[in-house]
Every structure is written in C-alpha cells, then in structure tokens.
Amino acid sequence: MTRPLDHLLVTGGAGFIGSAFIRAVFRRLGFAGRVVNLDKLTYAGNPANLIGHVPDDGRYTFVHGDIGDQALVERLLAEHDIQCVVHFAAESHVDRSIYGPKEFLQTNVMGTFSLLEACRARHAAGKPIHLHHVSTDEVFGSLGDDGFFDEETRYDPRSPYSASKAASDHLVRAYAHTYHLSTTLSNCSNNYGPYHFPEKLIPLMILNCLDGKPLPVYGDGQNIRDWLYVDDHAEAIWLILNKAASDTSWNVGGRNEWKNLDLLHKLIEVVAVEAGRDVRELRKLITFVKDRPGHDRRYAIDASRIERELGWRARHDFGSGIVETVRWYLQNPRWVQDMKSGAYKSWLDTNYAAR
Ligand code: NAD
Ligand code: TYD
C-alpha cells in the first residue's frame, strides 16, 4: 500500500497523543514532509507541547481553529495540498462527558462529520485524500474477567464519551462505504506518558503525590485498564498510514492490564524513589471516593492483528515507561503550572467539590 503522505493535516495536534504523533514523525520516523496542526486549544491543548520538537523551516504550521469549521478545513486542504488527515481532535475525558456531554457530541460527532464532508469534497474534486480516525477501545463497552476486544467485537459504548466516539467511528466507515473515501481507523487502549493532561488517572496521581493531596480512587479500585506508552501508539498510527488498506480498522494495546489500585501502588513506589518521598506517607493519601457513574469494569485489547499484519510491537515496557513519565513530570513543573492555572482548575474545583 502506498499513499501520498507528504502533506499532513493533523487535528488536535496540541493535545497529549496528537503532539506525541507530531514529535514522533519529525524526530524519530524520518518524515521529510509538512504538517499543518489544526487545534482549537481547549483546556487540553497546549502548543508548547511542540516547542523545540518541530522544524522551523516552514514544514510545520499551527492553525488555531475548530474542526467543525468546514470552510476553514476545506481551505486548509486546498492551500496546503493536504493528502492525509490524521484526526486526533476530540473531547477525551469520560468524567467531563458525564457532567457535560454536549461538547462531546459537538466536537466528536459533528466535528468529525465536518471533517469528513471537507474530505469528501476534496475526493469528489479528484484530489488524493485519506483520513485516519483515532479512536478508543471504549467503544466496545466493558469486559468481564476474561476475553479481549478484537476488531470484530460488537460496539457497546456506555459513557457519553464512548458513545460519541462510536458515532464518529460509524460515520467514518459509512463515508468509506458510501462515497469510497479512503479511510483507516484505530481503536487504542489507555495511553500514558509525558504531556498527559493532569485530569487523567496517571498524571493526576503523580501530581497529587508530589503535592501531598488525596489520591482519589473511584469505587473499589478494582477496575482494569490496559496501558500503552503514548509513543507506541504514535508509531502504530504511522504504520497504519503507511501500510494499511483503506476501510480497515486496527486495535492497538499494550497487553498491560492493571487494576487501578495496583497501578496506584506501583506509581507511589516510583514517585517515592524518583522524588525522594516516604512511601508510607504517600500511601496514606489513598482515598476511596464515590464511583464514577456507569464506570466500565475492564478494558483489554487483543492487538495480534496489527502485530501480525503490520509488524507493530509495543516497544516500551511498563516498568521503564512509568519511570520515564514520573521523571518528566518532575522535570517540567512549568508545564504543569501552566496547565493547572487554566480552565481545568476551575472545572476541577467545581466538579470535585460537588461529588
Ligand atoms: P486530549 O484531550 O489531550 O487532546 C485533544 C486535543 O484536541 C486538544 O489539543 C484540544 O485542544 C483539541 N480539540 C478539542 N476540540 C477541538 C475542536 N473542536 N477542533 C480542533 N481541536 C480540538 O486528547 P488525547 O488524549 O490526546 O486523545 C486524542 C485522541 O485519541 C482522541 O480522539 C481520543 O478519543 C483518542 N484516544 C485517546 C486515548 C487516551 O488514553 N488518551 C486512548 C485511545 C484513543
Ligand atoms: P481515566 O484516566 O479517566 O481514563 P478512562 O476513564 O478513559 O479509562 O481513568 C482510568 C481509570 O482510573 C478509570 O477506571 C477511572 C479511574 N480513576 C480513578 O480511580 N480516580 C481518578 O481520579 C481518575 C481520574 C480515574
């Protein structure tokens, strides 16, 4: 499979995974082309995530805008002769989707629809255009004690976030089927690593340990997630872009399942060593709080298809990945401060105070 990939439009490239993807293509994956990064800069987007990591020779352009602005996207596709859209932009946090689902429908469903329409217009004009849609394993619902999600698993989304991502997945497939738009799709497990916004479990717990704040464990702490280092996800997407046929979807995961409480104990040990803290004092911060409504019990990905057919492997083992992550947060207090002083902080105060 060869598709032109010299001119990329990345959506949501100032967020956690999108910025990891842009850093990866320029720094590690030998990409010699151009990237336009379209990002609305919600509370989760920070263009500083790319400072020093992108070329300054005109091959990288940042555009502040909304994926739902179809005229803007059509203009970007034409002006930059875009051949491929790598679509990360989304509202991405389950808790926020529970307290305010509207933005999730707006960006994840209607925004993806607008992007698809802009791509369809380009395709109809005879220009080469491909769209890769970055999605989540949460569209498959919740697993019991055994079994894994594979590419044939039936969709069963159970939170407003996962329902909005499922809707966008269906739209992408519908455009491939109906309009013969070239598309690919990936459903990935939970990511972790540097630049992760500190509302998600791992960065929140690291920072609360450092600040001596309570470590809020939802419910009994026995829910299971399958954690993948963010750079491994970025590399999976790059492989899919380069090798996968149109209208295919790929499950990506770390074969790395952790119960939340066990993960927290592991994190506490790493923070204690890396930050020179007393492990017993950190353990005392663990606080069981009211469970998340509709909290999915277990996610676990069977990634054998992408391993077998595209030769992908997760290269980071969890032991070293988590140490690297903790060190990154210790070394980047300025980034943490900037993120915390934004809209995120007032949201957190309002919503956690109410629970
Ligand atoms: P994130 O919340 O860190 O970043 C999202 C980015 O999208 C931000 O930069 C934000 O400013 C931007 N954005 C939001 N709405 C926008 C809009 N309307 N127009 C333009 N830009 C907009 O999210 P993330 O964790 O990097 O996730 C990226 C993608 O990967 C999402 O589609 C998410 O569903 C998917 N995903 C995430 C995980 C995970 O563990 N974080 C796992 C699997 C899949
Ligand atoms: P999160 O990082 O929000 O990702 P997702 O909900 O998309 O899997 O949460 C990961 C797990 O950690 C999930 O089971 C919810 C739990 N959790 C807590 O126990 N406490 C917290 O403060 C957060 C944010 C999450």
**Annotated catalytic residue: which of 60, 161, 299, 344?**
161
**Annotated catalytic residue: which of 66, 91, 95, 138?**
138
Is there an atom of ligand 1 within 6 Å of 14 CB?
Answer: yes
User: Can you tell me which atom of ligand 1 is nearest the CA of 165?
Assistant: 34
Least confident of 40-54, 91-105, 288-302: 40-54
- Per-residue pLDDT tens digits for 237-265: 999 999 999 999 999 998 999 999 999 99
What is the band of 354 on the pLDDT scale with cuts at 50, 70, 90?
Answer: very low
Q: Any idea where the domains of the chain sit in the sequence? A: 7-196+227-255+295-318
Q: How far is the CA of 193 from the centre of ligand 2 (A)?
A: 15
For residue 314, give the nearest of 304, 324, 325 by alpha carbon.
304
Is there an atom of ligand 2 within 6 Å of 206 CB?
Answer: no
Query: What fold, for 7-196+227-255+295-318?
Result: Rossmann fold (3.40.50)
Catalytic, 137? Answer yes
State which amino acid sits at residue 305.
Answer: R
Residues forming a β-bridge with 301: 149
Q: CB neighbours of 76 closer than 8 A, spacing ≥ 6?
A: 9, 36, 38, 63, 82
Q: How far is the CA of 298 from the centre of ligand 2 (A)?
A: 11
For residue 103, give the nearest of 185, 186, 42 by alpha carbon.
42
Q: CB neighbours of 219 closer than 8 A, spacing ≥ 6?
A: 288, 290, 291, 292, 295
Instruction: Provide the token pair at 251.
Output: 């499950």
Catalytic, 274? Answer no
What is the band of 1 on the pLDDT scale with cuts at 50, 70, 90?
Answer: low
